[in-house]
Every structure is written in structure tokens, then in C-alpha cells.
Amino acid sequence: MSDASINASRAYEDEASFGDYFALLKPRVMSLVVFTALVGLLAAPVSVHPVVGFCAILFIAIGGGASGALNMWWDADIDKVMKRTKSRPIPAGKVEAGEALAFGLALSGLSVIMLALAANVFAGAFLAFTIFFYVVVYTMWLKRATPQNIVIGGAAGAFPPVIGWIAATGTMSVEPWLMFLLTFMWTPPHFWALALFMRSDYDDAGVPMLTVTHGRRATRIHILAYTVLLAVLAVGTAFSGIGGPIYLAVAVVLNALFLHGAWKITRRDEDDSEADNFKVERSFFKLSLLYLFLHFGAILAEALLKPYGLGGW
């Protein structure tokens, strides 16, 4: 085999597959976007035609995926440094950064226009704002500039239920913003717990994570502070238009567990954590995944049971 053919076959191995383009959309983040947007759409006090609802969720998901592709385009330099992200399509050499940019921009335009046509212009405009917020305000501007980056990034990830609600109603009210606040307040303790046991990643990339700039003791205190505020908000939401007895029961149990986890994290020092390989921090992180899923699941259950006279108060 000649050198030229060996080089060619290597180049072909690095060629992007369908899966690589799909990976640019951050499928795991997209699943959260789909779920929370669906809850926002179904919790709204109006009925939506299934086809319109499906299209709305699909285009919100595509918009979320497009912002993920644009995020990967901009962050390609730090993604190749971090263990968690170095296998992403751009640092792995499967997709060119310029391709990811074009892909992200094209899907952003498509999703915004299609959501405006399928649902309403307000929903389309709000999706455009969300993409702008995540890509420009968070990724380009604040992610590398402030240790509060996770708090700001959390806002972008919290918009989907609001867009889902607007897609259904065409208007804004308090309830979708309660769902927004639920995700917004949940994001910092979720990510800071991750940062506690993945510290070297953020150190290597030079991202000003709270663990790096203010230290691990301060991060543990921040986790507890946000968890207390989150618990008050999450339980209080039970008494709003989207709450009910099912949600209240779920919120009380989960927030008690979450507060207990945050308290344990605060009481530990670095020697304790190193000794058991961050067992408490890891279990808190896993609980945080269940926490958000079950809160939104409970809101969905209340909404689905309402027509049968069972959901809500």
C-alpha cells in the first residue's frame, strides 16, 4: 500500500458520519429541552392540536441543538483540553469548526422560522432570543469572564418550558416563569457538584469555575445556599396553577433529600472527599438529575390529570 493510499484511508476514517453531526446538537441536553418544553406546552391551560404541538417541540429541540452546535464551534479550543469534551466531533477532527458554525446557523434560522409558522411569532422570537442568549451572552461573553458563568448558562437552559407555554398560548404568565426558575436555580448546585469532582478539567481549560476562582470551600457553601433557595421555590410552586397534591408530595420528598445532600457536601472537607473519591458529591449530582426530571414529571402528571378532575387543587 502506498503512502498516499494510507493517508487517504486515514482521512476517510476521520470523515464525519451522520452521528457526528447529530452529536453536534448535544443530544443529552436536547432531551432535557424536549422534556421541559413538552411540560411547558402541556401544562398550559389551552389545548393544542397534536401535530402543531409535535412541530413546536421538534423545532424548539432543533433550536436547542443548533445553539449546542454553535457552542461547540466557539468552544472548540477548550473542548480539546477537557477530558469530558475532547471526544466531541470538532476536537476529535470529525467535523471542521466552520462546518459546525454553518450547521448551527442554518438550523437556528430554520427552527425559529418554522416555530413562528407552526405555533406563533412570539414563540419563534423567544426561541431566537434563547439561542442568542446561550451563544452570544453565555458562550461568547460570560462563560470565560465570570465564575457565575453557570448561573447565567442556567438561564439559557431554563427557557424551553417558557417557549413551550408561549407556543401553546401565545401569551406569557407567571406559571412558565416558575418552571424557568426551577431549572435556573437547579443548575448551579447541579454543575458545581460536578465541578467539585471534575476540577482538573476546568483548571486545564482556564474556565473560571467557582471551584477555581473562589475555592472549593466557597463552592460547597454556594451549593447549600442555592439549594435552600431552590427548595423554597420548588415547594412554593406546588401552590400555583401548575401545582397540586402530587407535585407537593414529590417536591417535599425530593427537596428534603436535596437539602440533606447539600448539607453533607457543606460539612465535608477536601480530605473527606478525596478519601472516598467524592462519593457524597457524586451521589448529589446523580440525585440532581432525578430531582429535575421528577419535578417536571409531577407538573406533567398534574396537567394530564386535570381533564379528569384529579390534577391541581
Partner 1 sequence: MALRKEHEIHKRRSGLNKGVGILLAAFVVLIMALTMVKVTSASFKFPDAQSSGEQGEQN
Residues forming contacts to partner 1 in the complex (CB under 8 A) are 12, 15-18, 21, 49, 51-52, 55, 58, 117-118
Query: For residues 17 and 87, which CB has a smaller minimum distance to partner 1 in the complex?
Result: 17
Rounded to a whole number of angstroms, the minimum distance from the CB of residue 274 to partner 1 is 45
d(Cα 144, Cα 98) in Å, to the nearest integer? 21
Rounded to a whole number of angstroms, the minimum distance from the CB of residue 73 to partner 1 is 20
Rounded to a whole number of angstroms, the minimum distance from the CB of residue 113 to partner 1 is 12
Query: For residues 117 and 290, which CB has a smaller minimum distance to partner 1 in the complex?
Result: 117
Query: For residues 4 and 51, which CB has a smaller minimum distance to partner 1 in the complex?
Result: 51
Rounded to a whole number of angstroms, the minimum distance from the CB of residue 19 to partner 1 is 8
Residues in the chain: 313
- Alpha-carbon distances, residue 80 vs 47, 128, 139, 175, 215 (angstroms): 46, 28, 16, 40, 24
240: DSSP letter: S
Q: Write the Ramachandran bin of 273: left for phi over 0, alpha for psi from -120 to 50, otherwise beta.
A: alpha
Query: For residues 18 and 308, which CB has a smaller minimum distance to partner 1 in the complex?
Result: 18
Rounded to a whole number of angstroms, the minimum distance from the CB of residue 90 to partner 1 is 17
d(Cα 23, Cα 28) in Å, to the nearest integer? 9
Query: For residues 58 and 92, which CB has a smaller minimum distance to partner 1 in the complex?
Result: 58
**Residue 257: which residues within 8 A CB-CB, separation 6 or more?**
287, 291
Compute the half-sphere exposure of residue 12: CA atoms within 13 Å on the CB side of its CA. 6
Nearest to 183 by CA among 230, 149, 221: 230
Residue whose entry in the numeric block shows the C-alpha cell 436535596:
258
Rounded to a whole number of angstroms, the minimum distance from the CB of residue 64 to partner 1 is 17
